[in-house]
């Protein structure tokens, strides 16, 4: 919608992107995301607005029928009302190394799209790159998987899960609350803008959740929710570990301790 002409504004209706980039609301999304994050922290708000009310209403509805319908179902007419928006972190952009078939170092495990390091995407989240990834690497992965799948055998000697001595968790809130806490830790400390201090604090908080979850898992009958919680915590650990080892800012992997280097102006 920014490419269409939508403008970012604060809750009082004032534009703010001129403070961050000369391209204003058309700046790359990593810059826009950090700008929104900065404005939200500055004003103590949980969102800003995306304003497209100055565009022709019929044209807007034709261009963005799904957005229009979704917002309208929430009581927001995007041709008349500004849209509340907040940045979302893309934690794995350009992360998993793959070969020309989209296969990772773990055989039979493919990584496609923004999470993969193919050379087409990089450390930023660009909408057009998603199409390139789909046309090139998704196709390559599908062809490769189809060509080798007949050579694989499935294990049929895996014993049934033995849950003797375990019980169902007394309260599902133990799981749902932990999931919320992981989301908050990642959002506040490992999201749009990072720092060594925030990452260390996130690591310490996650350690507590890890210990609590493992204790619960050992005495509980396995459930989808509990297994998902363990997976969420493991992925969070991996993201934090990579972020702590990265001593630079690259694309949307931004840290205030190692900001993007300033390119010196060319001499006349």
Q: State the catalytic residues.
A: 29
Angstrom distance (rounded) from CA 254 to CA 268: 31
- Residue spans of alpha helices (H) in the chain: 29-43, 57-63, 65-73, 127-133, 139-148, 173-189, 196-219, 224-245
- Phi then psi for 108, rounded to 5 degrees? 75, 5
Question: Which residues, other chains included, contact 211 with Cβ-Cβ below 8 Å and sequence gap of 6+?
Answer: none
The conformational region for residue 10 under phi > 0 = left, psi -120 to 50 = alpha, else beta, is beta
Angstrom distance (rounded) from CA 58 to CA 76: 16
Handedness of CA 51, 70, 92, 101 (dihedral sign): negative
Closest Cα to residue 243, out of 231, 256, 229? 256
């Amino acid at each position: 919608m920014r490419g269409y002409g939508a403008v970012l504004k604060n809750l009082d209706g004032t534009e703010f992107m001129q403070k961050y980039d000369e391209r204003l609301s058309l700046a790359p999304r990593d810059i826009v995301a950090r700008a929104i994050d900065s404005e939200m922290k500055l004003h103590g708000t949980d969102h800003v607005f995306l304003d497209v009310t100055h565009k022709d209403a019929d044209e807007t509805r034709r261009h963005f029928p799904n957005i229009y319908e979704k917002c309208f179902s929430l009581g927001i007419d995007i041709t008349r009302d500004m849209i509340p928006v907040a940045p979302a972190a893309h934690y794995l952009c350009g992360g998993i190394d793959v070969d020309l078939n989209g296969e990772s170092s773990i055989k039979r495990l493919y990584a496609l799209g923004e999470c993969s390091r193919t050379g087409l995407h990089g450390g930023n989240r660009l909408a057009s790159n998603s199409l390139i990834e789909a046309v090139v690497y998704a196709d390559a992965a599908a062809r490769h998987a189809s060509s080798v799948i007949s050579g694989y055998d499935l294990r049929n000697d895996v014993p049934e899960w033995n849950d003797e001595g375990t019980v169902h968790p007394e309260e599902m809130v133990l799981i749902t609350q932990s999931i919320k806490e992981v989301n908050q830790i990642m959002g506040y400390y490992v999201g749009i803008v990072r720092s060594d201090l925030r990452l260390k604090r996130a690591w310490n908080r996650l350690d507590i959740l890890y210990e609590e979850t493992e204790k619960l898992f050992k005495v509980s009958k396995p459930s989808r929710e509990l297994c998902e919680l363990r997976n969420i915590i493991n992925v969070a650990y991996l993201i934090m570990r990579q972020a702590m080892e990265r001593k630079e800012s690259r694309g949307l992997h931004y840290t205030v301790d190692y900001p993007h280097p300033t390119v010196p102006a060319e001499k006349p």
